[in-house]
Structure 1
Amino acid sequence: MAETLTEDIKFIVFQLKEKEYAIPVNKVNSIEKIEHITRVPGLTPYVKGVINLRGVVTPIIDLRLRFGLEEIKYTESTRVIIISFDDMEVGLIVDAANDVIDVNMNSIEPQPEVVGVAEAEYISGVAKIDKRLLILLDLEKILNRDEIRLDSKIEG
């Protein structure tokens, strides 16, 4: 009888409007407090601008706006999750970054067929852990390079 090994993956758990979302920890460079964001004209509305993070100009995306949720004032618990994507760093503004959690691959289910949920197209799956339901995000769909397009906006 062959033994099946199930792999645990570490995820960063964060909150947006009372829902818990998760992204793989290996994509995350750091979690920062919100700081001054320099606006860049002509960007998609959910791209709030850029920050200078340790000498790196980093585009900042408000995930609430990306998901079609209402914009809120940033608070003491607001965080920017700095991730690596396609050889660039991008910051994601979230309501709060909760914790790091191990998710067993067997507990991940494919994206449910949900109609009317704004962020449905950005979901890669759902993980059930104890009584928690974590929405796993597909970073490639959230971070559409054509929509972020900072290179031409800043340099040109």
Structure 2
Amino acid sequence: MEKYVVFRMRDEYFGVPIHQVQAIEKVTDFTKVPQAPEYVKGITELRGEVTTVIDLRSLLNIGQTDTESEARILIVHVEGLRIGLMVDEAKEVVDLDEETIEQPPQMVGGVKEEYIQGVSKQQDRLLILVNLQKVLNVEQLEQVKEAVEA
């Protein structure tokens, strides 16, 4: 049994292992980063630390996050970096049994298979489990670091 943080992008529900999520924050103002990739919203101070914020929908090529509604920032740790992932809404924490997780189809909710570690059928929805190491690959992390440090 493993705990996952559930969040929504468009009409799809996604999950990431809770051990990768440090906090869930409301969207705040950002300082734009010159010459950063389009998916980098900017930097902001969250819980006393300057954090780079990435629009996860933009990164996955499924539109832009609507920051006016229930949008949240998931503060995650990937490859030693602290990154804020902006999503449409952060829902809940669920316990998933390994037996409920299946291999993903070629594409789910417009998201490529390589970014997905599995799918789990819940009572009324399909939960897409995101592989943050693949989504935020080393090359992209380096681009973000360079843009922020420039």
Shared topology, TM-score over 0.5? Answer: yes
User: Structure 1-normalised TM-score?
Assistant: 0.86
Matched letter for residue 54 of structure 1: R
Distance 1:154 1:48 in 2: 11
Q: Describe the SS at the equivalent of 1:12.
A: strand
Residue 72 of structure 1 and its aligned partner are, at CA, apart by 4.7
Say whether residues 1:39 and 2:35 are aligned partners.
no
Residue 78 of structure 1 is matched in structure 2 by 71
User: Structure 2-normalised TM-score?
Assistant: 0.90
Question: Structure 1 segments of 4 or more deviating over 6 A?
Answer: none
Of stretches 110-119 and 12-21 in structure 1, the one that deviates more from structure 2 is 110-119
CA RMSD across the alignment = 1.9
Q: Describe the SS at the equivalent of 1:35.
A: coil
Cα 1:122–1:40 shift into 2, 3 Å: same
Matching of residues 55-74 of structure 1 within 5 Å: 55-74=48-67
Cα 1:34–1:19 shift into 2, 3 Å: same
Determine what percentage of the aligned residue pairs are the same residue.
Answer: 36
Say whether residues 1:152 and 2:133 are aligned partners.
no
Of stretches 21-30 and 69-78 in structure 1, the one that deviates more from structure 2 is 69-78
Q: Which runs of 5+ in 1 are unaligned?
A: 1-7
Cα 1:63–1:119 shift into 2, 3 Å: farther
For residue 102 of structure 1, the aligned residue among 83, 88, 95 is 95
Residue 25 of structure 1 is matched in structure 2 by 18
Residue 117 of structure 2 is matched in structure 1 by 124
**Matched length:** 149
Matched letter for residue 116 of structure 2: I
Matched letter for residue 62 of structure 2: L
Residue 87 of structure 1 and its aligned partner are, at CA, apart by 1.5
Q: Is the contact between residue 9 and residue 104 of structure 1 (CA under 8 Å) also seen in structure 2?
A: yes
Distance 2:101 2:59 in 1: 24
Distance 1:115 1:24 in 2: 19
